[in-house]
Amino acid sequence: MVQSDFEGSMDPRDELVTHMGVLRAFALSLCRNSATADDLVQDTVMKAWKSIGSFEKGTNMRAWLFTILRNTYYTNHRKTRREVMDTDGHFAATMSVKPEHDGALAMTDFLVAFNQLPDEQREAITLVGASGFAYQEAAEMCGVATGTMKSRVNRARQRLVELLDLSDEDSMELTDSGTMAVLTAHLPVRRA
C-alpha cells in the first residue's frame, strides 16, 4: 500500500491497478494495436500517478482514468497523423483464418467490422457497451452532449449489424462481458 497523503483514507493510487483491464480494452478500441494500447495504458497510469493530487476523492476514478487515456490518445494521434494506418481494413481482410475455428472467425469478423467504425463510434460503443459507463458519463468524458453519445452508440451498433451481415433474427447484443472479451481477445466469441 502506498503511503497516503490523504488524511486517514486509502490512497487512490492503490485503486489504479483495478482499472487496468478496462483501460486496456478502451485503449485497444482507440488505437487498434495491442502494443500501442499497452503503451497508452502505461502512459495513462504514469500520468494518473503523477497527478493523483488533482483526483477528487469521492468521484469516479475510472471516468478520470478514461479521460486521461482518451486525451493522451488524441494528443499522440495528432503527433503521428502522417503514419499509414489500415483504416479500410484492407490488410486485416487479407488475413486468413481456418474455417474450422468458428470462434476465432467470429472474433476476427467482429474485429474487422469494429475497426471500420469511425473513431467516435468505436469510442462510444467501448465506453457504453464494454466499460459499462452510463451515456451521461461517457458523454462527459468525450466532451459531447448525452444525446450525441446515444446517437454514436446507436450508429455504431447499426453499422456493426450491417458489416457483420446480421439479419433481423440475429441478436446484436453488445454486453459488457461479450464486448470486453472480443476487444481484449481473451475469449473467443461464437455466433449463435
pLDDT in tens, 155-180: 998 888 888 887 655 545 544 444 55
CATH number, residue 64: 1.10.1740.10
Residues 120 and 174 in one domain: yes
Q: Is residue 69 part of a domain?
A: yes
List Cβ neighbours of 169 (8 Å cut-off, separation of 6 or more).
none
C-alpha cell, 80:
503521428
Residues 72 and 113 in one domain: no
Residues 165 and 94 in one domain: yes
Last residue of a domain, one of 29, 50, 79: 79
Is the dihedral angle over the CA atoms 77, 45, 22, 10 positive or is it negative?
Answer: negative
Decide if 185 contacts 103 (C-beta within 8 A): no
pTM: predicted TM-score of the whole model, two decimal places: 0.51
Mean pLDDT throughout 73-80? 81
Q: Is residue 73 part of a domain?
A: yes
Mean pLDDT throughout 36-57? 90
Q: Is residue 7 part of a domain?
A: no
Q: Is residue 100 part of a domain?
A: yes
Quickly list DSSP for 52-107. Answer: GGGS-TTS-HHHHHHHHHHHHHHHHHHHTTTS---TT-HHHHT----TT-HHHHHH
> Could you give the dihedral angle defined by the CA atoms of residues 137, 35, 33 and 123, in that order, rounded to the nearest 10 degrees?
10
Q: What residues make up the domain containing 159?
A: 90-184
Which residue, chain included where needed, has cell 486485416? 92
Residues 29 and 101 in one domain: no
C-alpha cell, 149:
453519445
Mean pLDDT of the chain: 76
Q: Is residue 166 part of a domain?
A: yes
Last residue of a domain, one of 79, 104, 138: 79
List Cβ neighbours of 119 (8 Å cut-off, separation of 6 or more).
30
| Lowest pLDDT segment from 52-56, 124-128, 145-149 | 52-56
Last residue of a domain, one of 24, 57, 79: 79
